[in-house]
Structure 1
Amino acid sequence: MSINLYKSKINHHRFIGRYIFTALLFMCCSLFYSSAHAESCWISGGNLSFGTVNAQGSSTVSTDITVNCNSNWSQPIAYKMCLVVDSIDPAGQDPRSMISYDTYPAPLLNYNLYYDVAKTRKVPSTSNQSTAQCQSFQVSSNSGNPTTLIKMYGQVLSGQNVSAGYYKTNNMSLKLLYASRYGTEFPTDLEALASQNSANNYLLVNANYENSCLIVSATDIDFGTVDRLTAPRYQSGTIQLACPTGTNWKVSLDNGINASGTQRRMKNAQGSYLDYALYQDASRSILWQGNTQYSFSNQTIPVYGAIPAQDINSVGQYSDTITVTLTY
Structure 2
Amino acid sequence: MREDRSVKRILSGMILMLGLWPLDAQAQGCTYTVSPVMEFGRITGLPTPQIDVTTTISVTCSTLLSVNRRVCLSLPAGSGGLSIADRRMAGPGGDFVQYQLYTNAGRTDVWGALGGSSPAVAVDFLLLVGSRTITVTIYGRVFAGQMSKAVGTYLSNLAPQARWRDFILTPPCQNVTSNLSTLPTLTSQLVIDPNCTITANPLSFGTVTGITGHEATSNLSATCTPNAAYTITLNGGSVSGNVNERQMRLGPGPDTVDYQLYRDSGRTQVWGDTQATGVTGSGTGSAQSIPVYGSVPAQGPKPPGLYQDTITATITF
Letter in 2 for 1:254: L
Instruction: State the distance in 1 between where 2:115 and 2:260 align.
Output: 56
Letter in 2 for 1:43: Y
Letter in 2 for 1:304: P
Residue 141 to residue 209, structure 1, CA distance change in 2 (3 Å): closer
**Which position in structure 2 is the counterpart of 1:304?**
291
Of the candidates 98, 101, 121, which is equivalent to residue 114 of structure 1?
101
Instruction: State the distance in 2 between where 1:92 and 1:84 align.
Output: 14
Residue 235 to residue 243, structure 1, CA distance change in 2 (3 Å): closer
State the Cα distance separating 1:26 from its structure 2 match: 1.5
**Which position in structure 1 is the counterpart of 2:235?**
255
Structure 2: stretches of 5+ with no match in the other structure: 209-215, 297-303
**Which position in structure 2 is the counterpart of 1:28?**
19
Q: What SS class does the counterpart of residue 26 from structure 1 fall into?
A: helix
Residue 203 to residue 176, structure 1, CA distance change in 2 (3 Å): same
Contact 2:263/2:279 (8 A) holds in 1: no
Q: What SS class does the counterpart of residue 159 from structure 1 fall into?
A: coil
Residue 33 to residue 16, structure 1, CA distance change in 2 (3 Å): same
Q: Percent of counterpart pairs with the same letter?
A: 15
Letter in 1 for 2:199: D
Equivalenced residues, count: 277
**Which position in structure 2 is the counterpart of 1:103?**
none
**Which position in structure 1 is the counterpart of 2:88?**
95
Letter in 1 for 2:314: T
Residue 52 to residue 34, structure 1, CA distance change in 2 (3 Å): closer
Matched, 1:290 2:290: no
**Which position in structure 2 is the counterpart of 1:201?**
183
Q: What SS class does the counterpart of residue 219 from structure 1 fall into?
A: strand
**Which position in structure 2 is the counterpart of 1:37?**
27
State the Cα distance separating 1:304 from its structure 2 match: 2.4
State the Cα distance separating 1:254 from its structure 2 match: 2.7
State the Cα distance separating 1:118 from its structure 2 match: 8.3
**Which position in structure 2 is the counterpart of 1:4?**
none
State the Cα distance separating 1:174 from its structure 2 match: 1.0
**Which position in structure 2 is the counterpart of 1:238?**
222
Matched, 1:192 2:173: yes
Letter in 1 for 2:159: S
Matched, 1:173 2:154: no
Q: What SS class does the counterpart of residue 221 from structure 2 fall into?
A: strand
Task: Report Cα offsets for 1:245-264 as digits up to 9, x if no partner.
Answer: xxxx7724032652533376
Task: Report Cα offsets for 1:180-220 as digits up to 9, x if no partner.
Answer: 8659xx87xxx33564355431215397989xxx6511221
More helix by share: 1
State the Cα distance separating 1:83 from its structure 2 match: 3.6
Report the TM-score, using the length of structure 1 for normalisation. Answer: 0.52
Report the TM-score, using the length of structure 2 for normalisation. Answer: 0.54
Structure 1: stretches of 5+ with no match in the other structure: 1-8, 100-106
Q: What SS class does the counterpart of residue 28 from structure 1 fall into?
A: helix
Letter in 2 for 1:219: I
Matched, 1:146 2:146: no
Q: What SS class does the counterpart of residue 78 from structure 2 fall into?
A: strand
Contact 1:277/1:287 (8 A) holds in 2: no
**Which position in structure 2 is the counterpart of 1:131?**
118
**Which position in structure 1 is the counterpart of 2:58?**
66
Question: Over the residues paired in the alignment, what is the CA RMSD in angstroms?
Answer: 6.1
Instruction: State the distance in 1 between where 2:292 and 2:313 align.
Output: 12
Instruction: State the distance in 1 between where 2:62 and 2:94 align.
Output: 40
State the Cα distance separating 1:148 from its structure 2 match: 1.4
Contact 1:67/1:148 (8 A) holds in 2: yes
Residue 254 to residue 313, structure 1, CA distance change in 2 (3 Å): closer
Contact 1:234/1:305 (8 A) holds in 2: yes
Instruction: State the distance in 2 between where 1:153 and 1:295 align.
Output: 44
More strand by share: 2
Instruction: State the distance in 2 between where 1:274 and 1:153 align.
Output: 64
